[in-house]
Structures are given as C-alpha cells and as structure tokens.
Structure 1
Amino acid sequence: MKTMTKLVFTLLGLLYTTLSSAQVWVPDQGDGTFKNPIIYADYSDPDVIRVGTDYYMVASSFTCQPGIPVLHSKDLVNWTLINHVYQALPLERYKEPQHGQGAWAPSIRFHNGTYYVYFCTPEDGLFMASTKDPRKKWEVTFVKPVKGWEDPCPFWDEDGQAYLLRGKVGAGPAILHKMSTDGKTLLDEGTTIYEDKAKQPSLEGFKFLDKREGYYYFSAPAGGVPTGWQAVFRAKTIYGPYEERIVLRQGKTPINGPHQGGLVSTQTGEWWFIHFQDKGSYGRIVHLQPASWKDGWPVMGVDVDGDGTGEPVLTYKKPNVGKTYPIAVPQTSDEFSSTTLGLQWQWQAAPNKAWYTLTGKKGAIRLTAVSVPTDSGSFAVAGNLLLQKFMAPTFSATTKLELHADEAGERAGLAVVNGSFICLEKGKANNRIVIYQQRRKGWDKLYPPVEAASLKTDAQVVWFRVRVNENGTCVYTYSLDGDRYQELGSNYKAERGTWIGSKVGIFCINPTSRASKGFADFDYFRVDK
C-alpha cells in the first residue's frame, strides 16, 4: 500500500512539474498539499456546494457577460469552468456596459434534485436561476423588481418551508423572508433578524449554513472588504435572537480581509471554507481554509491561540475526498479552433452575435469594428471587448492579428482593462502601432484614450504581447515576424475596475459614428509565465 501511495505521489509530482511549466498558476503542489490562493483570479464573492462527489462554485460577474461563472472540482483545489448561469441578463439596459451593476454575490444551493442560484442586481432586483444539471442551461426567473437589495441566500427548513436571507446595498442588516417552496415568490416584506453596527459593521455576503444540533446558522463577512473578518451567527429559532462569533481574521498573516465565501463539508466528513482576498488590480482572488467545529461553532483556518478565531493558511494538506484527482486549472489560452467561444471569455455587456464570428477564418476569431463613438472610443462604453480575468501575479499574453480596416482610426489589438492597450490602427496614409493609456475617472468612467507611444508601419499582420508584472505594471512588445519582439513605450499600471479587477483580452473598434465593414482576425490568445 505504501509503495502504491508513493507511486501515486510520484506521478502527481511529474504531472505538477509538467503543468506548472505550462500554466501560470497551479495550486496543487503534487505532493498531497496545496498553496493559496487556489485560484489567482477575480472570482469575487465565491459560494460553494457539494453534491455527491462533485463541488460547484459560483462568483459575481457585475457588468461582465456571460454572467455568474460556474466552476467544478472534485477536490476543492483543482477547478475548471463548466458553464455560466446566464448568457445575458434579461434586461434591456445590459445591452450596454453597466459598470458596478449586474450580478452581485450569488449563492448556490441544491434542493430536491434542483440546483438554485440566487443573486441581486443593486438597481434592478432579485433573480433566481435553476437547473437539473449545472453544465446545461439555467432557467432565470426575475423574482422581484426592487432597488437596494444584495447578497441573497435561500434555505429550505426541515418542514419544507423556504426562506430567503438578504441584505441591503451599503452593507445593511440581515433580513429574512418566507418564500414559496419553488423559490420563485417571496411571501412577506421581510424581518430584520440581526443588526449590530458596533460589533459587526458593514455586514454583507449572507450565507445560510446547515442546520446543526438544533441551531440555525448563517455566515456573513463584516468590517469591510480589504480589512474585515468572517463572522458566524446562530440561534435556536430561525428568527433569532442570534448570537455571533468572529471565526476567521487576518491575524499575523499576509492574507488581508479574509471573508465572504462558502462553508462546505467533504464526503469524508472534513469541513472547508472558500473565501476571497482583495488584491487590488488583480481583483478578489480565491482561497481555501481548513475548518472544524468546536463548542458549537465553526473555526476557519488555523486557530493559533485557541480562542475560536482562526487565521488563514498559505499552504496545507489537500482535502480528503477519498480519492486523488488530476491537476486542473481554469481555462485561459485559446487557439479559437472551436465553434463556440471559450468559457474564460466575457464581454462588458450582453453578447451580440454581430460582434464576432468563429467561422470567418479557420482557426481564428473575427472581431468586427463596432462603432463606439462616445468619448472618442473609450473602453468604458465599449461592450464588445473580449476579455478574461488576470490569472496569476505575473504572466504574459500574446496574440497574432490581421487588421482589415475600413475607416481611418479603426483599431484592433491587445488590451488591459483598466489601464492601457496596444493596437494596430489604420491611419489616413498608412497603419500605425500605437499604445494608448486610459486612466479611471470616478467609478464608472474612463478618460478618453491618450496616445503614449507609436510608430508607423505598412504591416497588416502583427503580433502583440503584454507582460504583467507582480506589481500590476504592464510592458508591451510587438513583432512583425512572430519571432523578434521589440518593446514600445514605458511601463503602464493596471487598475481595478468598479468592484472588479483588471482584465486582459482583445478588441476591434471603430471610434467614430460611421458604419464600417472593418474587422480583425485573431489567430490565438496564449497565456504563458
């Protein structure tokens, strides 16, 4: 048995070495341990459940669509994208970017053979999505049009009665509603079951836990995103009164504000907590903490001094799920060889078939030069940016493109949003390779693009690469032959967006109001260390 175990870890070690050389962030260390974060990407406000031997995670999307990514794992460490809850929000306004709006802090639950995801948009209302198979289509129900709600979570009690726990935008009290059994109708106006701004300020991210030993439990982060903590609340009746305890905080670790996530048990009886850490321009990245129950309370992380409040771990033994599974990571690179768009990609608004095609050129994606005249082509108002999350503290992204411009000023290239972009741009006389810089202007606007560096070229085909360094600075290079790359311009700082981290991707844009037949073909998007 020992020989077999040693062989398994040896093979996993070899797999880890192979994958880590190809992937930019691999949490599974191949020796029975993992390192945090388990996903170095902006999967904000994660929630997680287990159904049988499968684990499913969802996260916030805000203006990005398709929305609410669904991830799958067999061991809580190795995750891949399998779906999105919706392709587009069923409201007209989301056909254009709505920075800071969209899906906030979804919760996922499984009840009587059905998967449920609840979420709010802060100005539109409460939504519920359901499916029998999380890999297939979700049915989205607009439960209640209302402003100012956030962070809903359902709960079905032992007698079958359904409830919904939610908060208010601005981190308000815990409010409980009765719901119809099918989860599609609220039956009352809600009752405040906990509020103490002195003990638990900025309370949000509510999650019902399993009923346990006669107590109802819910968890909620408090104290603010960058510096707060995770609290748990319990009561003998669902309406309270609730007592509270802080079960996880930063302590002496470098993991700031560890909170907002999901508590889940393995099939072997272990408990684990998935949460985020705010990393500025990288967004809110995902961590995994061991958990246990002590004196009727969960303790998350490692309780160094035995006071019932844990601290996060940087490395730890992997969860015991009764079996060892292959190393996996969320998708990043794309050769555009499929007939469907990869799950790693999102737009800044509801997807529009007029923006792209995967059949215009074999093995390439064709982006059309969509007119975005407002603010001189500012990315703030461009829905047709094809983007994915930053996926590691340091990485490089490379693409090859061929521009077929129709109007002067049309541009296609490689972008870091929010921050800067490099593009091939059609001029009046000939083409130019240009780096533009975009700075934030308040929460939801960008200054018009400012030219930072440029050179003239007669090329129609170019290769672009951006190197993102650990401090979020971006270095751009270009090539005219796909072999020799030259740096252009200086370093540019990536910035956080409205509730989201920076994103990287490709685009083709027409910054005028004139209709255009222009387009650009991108042969690939490759992410490397």
Structure 2
Amino acid sequence: MKRNQTVILTLFLTLISLFDGYAQKKKNNAPVFAEVVYEGKDKIYETNPLKEGEFYNPLLQGCYPDPAITRKGDDYFMVVSSFVMFPGVPIFHSKDLVNWTQIGHVLDRNSQLKVQDAGISMGIYAPDIKYNPYNDTFYMITTQFAGGFGNIVVKTKDPFQGWSDPIKMKFDGIDPGLFFDEDGKAYVVHNDAPNEGEERYNGHRVIKIWEYDLENDQVVAGTDKIIVDGGVDPSKNPIWIEAPHLYKKNGAYYLMCAEGGTGDNHSEVIFKSDSPTGPFIPAPSNPILTQRYFGDERSYKVDWAGHADLVLGPDDKYYGVFLGVRPNEKNRVNTGRETFILPVDWSGEWPVFENGLIPMGPKLKMPEGVTEVKYGKDGFFPNGNFVYTEKFDSKDLDYRWIGLRGPREDFISFVKGGLQINPFATNIKEVKPTSTLFYRQQHQNFSFTTKLTYQPQSDKDLAGITCVQSEAFNYVFGVTKVGNDHVLVLQRTEGKGMGRNRQINSQILASTKVDLSKPLTLQVKANGDEYEFGYAVAGGEIQNLGGKVSGDILSTNVAGGFTGNMLGLYATTSNDAIVK
C-alpha cells in the first residue's frame, strides 16, 4: 500500500512540475517592454517660449476633459472624466493653480468601477468634486454609465488616502454637482430630461435640484424641482443645458451651466437667484465663455470651450477651469478634450471669463504671488514641449499609465529588463478588458518609442504598439508569427455604421519579416494629421513601415465619442492582424 502511495505521490509531483514548467514557459513568452520615450514637439511652444511670470494653457494636455475643482485652505483638488479608463477619475493637487501633481485616481478599485463591458465612451462622465467645510469631508459625485450604477457619490476625509465605495443615487439624468450652503444644507443639481410629454425639440434638457441628506448620503425624495427649462432663451430652443454648478456670493445664488452641446457651439452660461431652488434669471451678457464665434484661420485654435467650474484662487481672484480642444491642421481632434483655465472677473454682479470671448492664446499670466513654473520637476505634471521617459524600473507605475475596462495589475508584471504584459485572449476591438497599457497623446506632433523583447508562438500571438480612439477605430503595429517567420504588421481598423449595425473593417496596410533575436524598437510618430510607424532591429536606424497614414480614425471627428487618441503597449493571444 505504501509503495502505491509513493508511486502516486511521485506521479502527482511530476505532473505539478510539468505544469509549472509549461506555465513558466508561457509566462516567459509574454512580451517585455524595456522602456518608453514620449516626446512632444509642437511648434506653438517653440514659437511661444515662457517668459517670467507666464504659464501654459491648457493646464492638462491630452484627454483630461470635464474638469471640476474645489479648495480646502491652500490646497486645490481637481478631477476629470475618465470614461472606461481604469483606474478612473484622475485627481490632481495644486497649491497655486499653475503647478499640478496627480495624486492618484478617485475610483481605483473593482468595487468602485464596473466598466468591463462598456464601450470606450461610456463609463465615467463629468465628475464633480466639492469640499464641505461643515463636516470636513470631500465628496465626488458623477455618472457611471456601466455596472448598473447610474449616478453615484464617494467621499473621503483625505483625498491623498483614497475614497469610499460608491453610493448609488436615487435620481436619473447626468452631470450631477453638489452644493453646500452656509446654513449646513446640501443640494444636488443635475441635467435631466424634461417631464414626460413636455419635450419640445431634440436636445431639450432641463436642470433639476434636490435637497441632499448628508446623514444618509441620498437625495431627499420629493424635493426635486426644475430650475432651468431648456436654457438661457427657451424661445430659441437651446440644446444640452448641462454640467451645472451652484455657487453663493454676496448672499445670492449663481447657477453656471454648459450650453450648446460639446462641440462647435459649446459655451458657458450663468443664472442668478435669491434662493438655491430658484427662480433663476439668466445674465444679460450670456454666454460668459465660448470660442464659437471665430473662424478656422486662427494661428492657434482653441475650440469647443465650456463645461466649466469656478474656484477662488490664491490671489483672492476667481478662476475657471473648463474643457477645450486644439484641432490639427485638418481641423481634426486627436488629443481629445483638454483642461484649460482662465481668470474670471467677478468684481460686478456677474462673473465673466477674462478673454473668454476672444480667441484664446497658449499662455497666461500667473496668479499674483506665484513665481515659478515647476513643469516636470519633483512630480509636477510637465507642460509645453517635453520628453517623458519611462524605464519601468519601479513597481510604482506612474499614474499616467492606464488600462481599459480593468485594472493594470491584472496583466502587468515588473521583471528584469522592464514591464511584462501577460496577454489576454482579447483583441483591442472587443468591448472587454484588454491587456494594453495606455498613455494619452498630448501633442499634435509627437513620437512614442519603445523596445520590445518577444517570441510569438503562433499567428494568434501579437505584441507591439496600438493607437486607439475606440474599439472600432484604431491602428495596431505589432509582431506576430507567420509559418516559421516573425512578421511585423500594421493594421488599420475603421468602423462603419452605429450601434448593433456597426461593421468593423480591418485592413493590413503593410508587413515585413523581422529578426527577434535581439530587442525590437517600435515607434509611432505624428506630424499633425500624418502618422508614421517605424521599427529598428538590433539598435539600427528606425525604418518606416507603411508610409504616412492618416490620423483621421484617431480623431473624434471621424470616430465620434468623447476620448482622445491613446498610445498603448499591447499584447494579445487573439490576434486577427494575420498576413496571408
């Protein structure tokens, strides 16, 4: 009996050893990215160097839209939309409104963010952050179009230390914002559809207000009231009144909203009342911020300005953060909606964005008392033209690196030689978590270069670079196996149609055999709307593959949606970029 047990135990241990060896072999076959170098080199920064007392606008380059801001003492905290990026809701900290550090993400756990089966422009919309001095608590309220959440709120005593799990709000609509009054009462304002049967035209929306119960973190049933119906001038059928924020100054209540839709007609408008529940009267000077009146021939074009939030600055002057876009030479938006700032003149009855109704420039004067720009130093976000090098030699991955629909930690490992991506059996075109580590495109002219060590085993294996505007609009530039050869392939994917009727068409633009006995250098670069993909073998000169290709599918103009182009380190075992 003992002999039989010994034989069985030996056989069992042998099987475990074989399985471990197989698993290790598979893991060793995962691609390793040695480093990434991102370089931004836009002409606007070359021709407009900073002088003493100046800083660059936008504050945050690339896809950082829908900013909201709050202040506690000398500390400013700002959040932006993140859609299905994981972790979600980047949060930034500043002491002066000029120099910003990213301190993390508000929604960084699976229990907070359930976007695993949502399209790229779903998920988290328009977060609002507010500090309540009456209970010394920070709140972030947002709409999560995924996971059955809807409108949610999370809170914390310390934004540096993480946030609570979400509390689902009992109201519909989007773009909720919180307001804490001087008497300790709290309110939620948000965009919603008109009452049933009262919709007058396509794009007709309303702003509602609710009382908010701070003890139970929930709106008070039956307190909802429409405080804006349609917009500033209902007789003109204004569209998409949204992104409301409520403020109090000199005993009066001000309601600021975006109007016109997030596009060419985008603007910011303001209303006033003696009560938080209205009636609200629009300012005679509306809009107080827009770039819609100007042509396409501006030397520096900022457009789609709106979706703003106000805060009192370090110089006791008001400032407004808002989204805008910087189209390329073909008027296409590849960098997405970015975060801008302008001073706000509120010396009179109504606030007005200073120079917010004339063409915007790339620089601003720093707030009084601010003496230094710290771009790229001591953890502060870079701005203007810069080079960012990531060697992947620390397990504290920079917050700028994100996943799609799931945690980065599910597919990355830090190994000798760099960052290993353990591939999912998921293609970049699927609405699922992908094994892709992304960095936002932040310039119109840029290069993104990495070194890859990899040995694909079949034509289903692929690793390399991807440029993604969405699951239906992207480029893939990676190494796979064809027969006994290793082949570098460039694939373009473009969707046709919408919703369930959408067809996704992919085309192999170019391919070439490569030697993978040494690390392979891969690069994507752009000059405005023209993108180029290149490679180098064994440290040689970078060679172009596929010529110059259009960035059209990497723009919101063609792809739709709300994100900007994202540059990814990609691996999959479900490759479909197959060379015949």
Match of residue 507 from structure 1: 570
Partner of 1:283: 336
Shift of 1:363: 4.5
**Does structure 2 conserve the Cα–Cα contact (< 8 Å) formed by 1:49 and 1:57?**
yes
1:67 maps to 2:127: no
Count of aligned positions: 480
**Which has the larger displacement, 38-47 or 27-36?**
27-36
Please tell me whether the aligned partners of residues 166 and 174 of structure 1 are also in contact (alpha carbons under 8 angstroms).
yes
TM-score, L = length of structure 2: 0.77
Q: Kindly tell me: are residues 383 and 409 of structure 1, through their superposed partners in 2, closer, same or farther at Cα, counting changes over 3 Å?
A: closer
Contact 1:410–1:509 at 8 Å: present in 2 too? yes
Separation in structure 1 between the aligned mates of residue 209 and residue 417 of structure 2, nearest angstrom: 51
Q: Counterparts of 1:371 and 1:62 in 2: how far apart (Å)?
A: 23
Equivalences for residues 243-262 of structure 1 within 5 A: 243-245=281-283, 246=286, 247-250=288-291, 251-252=293-294, 254-262=301-309
What amino acid is the match of 2:565?
S
- Write the distance in 2 (CA, Å) between the matches of 1:182 and 1:312: 44
Q: Distance in 1 between matches of 2:390 and 2:66?
A: 26
Taking only the aligned residue pairs, the percentage that are identical comes to: 23
Deviations along 1:387-427, one digit per CA (max 9) or x if unpaired, are: 12111121100000111334332100011103312101122
Shift of 1:39: 2.3
The amino acid that maps onto 1:315 is K
- Equivalent in the alignment of 1:213: 250
- Closer/same/farther in 2, CA of residues 171 and 129 from structure 1, 3 Å limit: farther
| Paired AA for residue 469 in structure 1 | N
Determine the C-alpha separation between the residues in 2 that align with 1:91 and 1:267: 33
Measure how far apart 1:135 and its partner are.
2.1
- SS of the aligned residue for 2:123 comes to coil
Change (3 A) 1:488 1:409: same
- Aligned with 1:118 (options 141, 145, 161): 141
CA gap 1:91/1:133 in 2 versus in 1, 3 angstroms: closer
TM superposition shift of 1:287: 1.6
Deviating more after overlay: 49-58 vs 482-491: 49-58
Are the counterparts in 2 of residues 476 and 487 from structure 1 also a CA contact under 8 Å?
yes
- CA offsets 1:49-79 (integer angstroms, 9 cap, x no match): 2322222211001111100001122322332
**CA distance in structure 1 between the partners assigned to 2:49 and 2:64 by the alignment:** 18
Q: Are 2:390 and 1:342 equivalent residues in the alignment?
A: no
The structural deviation recorded for 1:335 is 1.2
1:208 CA displacement:
1.8
The 5 Å alignment of 1:304-319 reads: 312-319=360-367
SS at match of 2:355: coil
Structure 1 contact 71–82 (Cα < 8 Å) conserved: yes
1:495 corresponds to which of 538, 555, 569: 555
Q: Which has the higher contact order (CA 8 A, sep 6+)?
A: 2
| Amino acid of the structure 2 residue aligned with 1:438 | T
Shift of 1:380: 5.0
Partner of residue 233 from structure 1, selected from 266, 271, 280: 271
**1:467/1:475 contact within 8 Å kept:** yes
Distance 2:59 2:127 in 1: 19
1:230-288 Cα offsets, whole Å, 9 max, x none, are 10111001111101132112244743221112111112211111111134221102221
Opposite residue 555 of structure 2, the aligned amino acid is: E
Residue 393 of structure 1 aligns with which residue?
A: 444
Task: After superposition, give the CA deviation of every residue in 1:80-107 in whole Å (9 maximum; x if it has no partner).
Answer: 3211001245379523343322110001
1:160-189 residue CA offsets vs partner (Å, 9 max, x unmatched): 111101112767211101111247211124
Q: Secondary structure at the match of 2:404?
A: coil
Q: Which one is further off, 84-93 or 460-469?
A: 84-93
Instruction: Give the letter for the 1:440 counterpart.
Output: G
List runs of 5+ in structure 1 lacking aligned partners: 1-20, 304-308, 514-529
Contact 2:77 2:94 in 1 (8 A): yes
For the pair 1:413 / 2:464, whether they are aligned, the reply is yes
**Letter paired with 2:398:** G
The 5-angstrom pairing of residues 441-520 of structure 1 reads 441-442=496-497, 447-460=504-517, 461-471=519-529, 473-492=530-549, 493=551, 494-496=554-556, 498-511=561-574
C-alpha offsets along residues 466-499 of structure 1, whole Å, 9 cap, x if unaligned?
112223x311110002341100002232233521
1:436-485 CA distances to partner (integer Å, 9 max, x unpaired)? 111134457672542110011232531101112223x3111100023411
Q: 1:272 aligns with which of 319, 322, 327?
A: 319
The Cα offsets for residues 183-202 of structure 1, whole Å up to 9 and x where unpaired, read as 72111242111113535421
Alignment of 1:99-178 (within 5 A): 99-112=120-133, 113-122=136-145, 124-144=149-169, 148-168=172-192, 172-178=205-211
AA in 1 matched with 2:463 = A
- Corresponding residue number in structure 2 for 1:263: 310
| Shift in Å, 1:138 | 1.1
Which residue matches 1:527? Answer: none
Taking a change above 3 Å as real, the CA distance of residues 394 and 255 of structure 1, as seen in their structure-2 partners, is same
Pair 74,23 (structure 1): closer, same or farther in 2 beyond 3 Å: farther
Alpha-carbon offset, residue 366 of structure 1? 0.6
CA distance in 1, matches of 2:358, 2:279: 25
Of 420, 430, 438, the residue aligned with 2:485 is 430
Question: 1: distance between equivalents of 2:208 and 2:374?
Answer: 42
- Measure, in 1, the Cα distance between the counterparts of 2:493 and 2:251: 55
Residues 1:286 and 1:217: Cα distance change in structure 2 (over 3 Å): same
Q: What letter is aligned with 1:343?
A: Y
Moved more, 436-445 or 123-132: 436-445
Kept in 1, the 8 Å contact 2:425–2:573? The answer is: yes
Per the alignment, residue 33 of structure 2 pairs with none
Aligned to 1:282, the other structure's residue is in SS state: coil
Partner SS, residue 334 of structure 2:
helix
1-side partners of 2:113 and 2:359: how far apart? Answer: 44
AA aligned opposite 1:221: A
Q: Return the letter of the residue paired with 2:276.
A: I
TM-score, length of structure 1 as denominator length: 0.84
Q: CA contact under 8 A between 1:48 and 1:58: conserved in structure 2?
A: yes
| Residues 1:105 and 1:28: Cα distance change in structure 2 (over 3 Å) | farther
Q: CA RMSD in A?
A: 2.7
How has the CA–CA distance of structure 1 residues 242 and 292 changed in structure 2, closer, same or farther, with 3 Å as cutoff? same
Match for 1:403: what amino acid?
Y
Deviation at 1:322, TM superposition (A): 4.9
* 1:381 Cα deviation from its structure 2 partner: 4.3
Distance 1:96 1:351, change over 3 A: farther
Structure 1 residue aligned with 2:346: 293
Determine if contact 1:150/1:167 at 8 Å carries over to the other structure.
yes
Q: Conserved in 2, the CA contact under 8 Å of 1:75 and 1:325?
A: no
Superposition deviation, residue 30 in structure 1: 4.7
Rounded Cα–Cα distance in structure 2 between residues aligned with 1:63 and 1:468: 25
Which residue does the alignment assign to 1:384? Answer: 435
Q: Find the partner of 1:180 among 206, 213, 228.
A: 213
User: Is 2:132 aligned against 1:76?
Assistant: no
Query: 2:109 & 2:484 partners in 1: Cα distance?
Result: 40
CA offsets 1:351-397 (integer angstroms, 9 cap, x no match): 16441212xx2251111121026xxx625545222112111121100
> Do the aligned partners of residues 156 and 257 (structure 1) sit closer, same or farther apart at CA in structure 2, a change above 3 Å counting?
same
Q: In the alignment, what sits opposite 1:522? A: none
Tell me if structure 1 keeps the 8 A contact 2:206–2:229: yes
**What letter is aligned with 1:194?**
V
CA contact (8 A) 1:301 1:313 kept: no
